[in-house]
Each structure stands twice: as structure tokens, then as C-alpha cells.
Structure 1
């Protein structure tokens, strides 16, 4: 069965979610989750914060591709911090 799955595509393939340790910034948690794509990495991640007992999440994926995962994660962190500085809690509205 594995041979046919590889030949004709396995429709059950789901991208595996890797656990990442968040970085705390001004009460927000930033998760760096670069997406591998064609030998490069797309800048992606999540920003979360607990507000009134509920965890709010903002996910984003940028169009930028970088050569390494560490580059993509570094850029994501800087963009997320800038976004938090500019938007504050209104990120989740």
C-alpha cells in the first residue's frame, strides 16, 4: 500500500505541528512557526494572549521566503514585536 500512496499521493498527509516554545513579549506569547516550502522557509507564526480568562490567538503567514528556518523565525519575531507595539490588544479584534 505504501508504494501506491507514494505514486498516487496520500490524501491523509497532514503537516505535522511541531511544538515550539513561545517567546514572551509585553504579556503576549509569540510562537515562531516557519513553514518549509521548496527548500526555503515562509515566515509564519502565532501571537497569543489571555484576555478575560480566554486565550486569544492571531495567526499570520507572510509571503516572504528565506533560506533558513532560523532566518524566518528571527524575522517573524521582529515583525510580531513590531505588530504588538503598534496594535496592542486590538490585534485580536
Structure 2
């Protein structure tokens, strides 16, 4: 690599090394809450994670839901995340935001 090439590479952006944006998953409405899964890639598996949101008195409240569970399949992770988030909503209701 020549001197000029080295200088050019220092000041140019290389989009090939940019991290890939995680795909946005489809949200699910459940009892007035919105569950948006966001599986976390971890060591070749996926950790259960989601945002649980609800509009209350014109304000949006959000709870980040992260579980210790990991599964091999992204699709299984999304399905399990939604199921566990629904259980949390059933058990805690609006107190999930406190």
C-alpha cells in the first residue's frame, strides 16, 4: 500500500466494517401493552429480550424485558419472548413500570 493510499484510507469511511443494524421485529399488542421482541445474539444463541410499552395518560411508558434464557433459533427466541412477556404482563400489569 502506497503512502497516498494509506492517507486516503485514514480519511475515508469504510462501510464494510459497520455493524449490522438488528432487524426490527413485529410488535404484538396484548391487553393494551405493546411487546416488541429484540433477540440479543450471544455466542451463537439468542437471549430473550423485548420492550414492553403502554400509553398511559398521553405518556408512553417503557419497560425493557431481558431474561437469562437463551435459545438456538432466532424464531424460537421471538416466540418464547412474547410468551414470557405476556406472563409478566398478566402477573404485574401496570406495576411493570414501577
Runs of 4+ in 1 over 6 A off after TM superposition: none
- Structure 1 unpaired stretches of 5+: 3-9
How far apart, in 2, do the equivalents of 1:14 and 1:54 lie? Answer: 32
Larger radius of gyration: 2
Question: Does residue 71 of structure 2 align to residue 66 of structure 1?
Answer: yes
- Structure 2 unpaired stretches of 5+: 1-8, 11-16
Deviation of residue 38 (structure 1)?
1.3
Tell me the alpha carbon deviations over residues 6-31 of structure 1, each in whole angstroms, 9 at most, x when there is no partner: xxxx8xx6673432221000000001
Root mean square deviation of aligned Cα: 2.0
Tell me the alpha carbon deviations over residues 13-70 of structure 1, each in whole angstroms, 9 at most, x when there is no partner: 6673432221000000001111111111111111000001010000021111100011
Indicate which of 34, 44, 51 corresponds to 1:39: 44
How many equivalent residue pairs? 84
Alignment of 1:1-16 (within 5 A): 1=9, 16=21
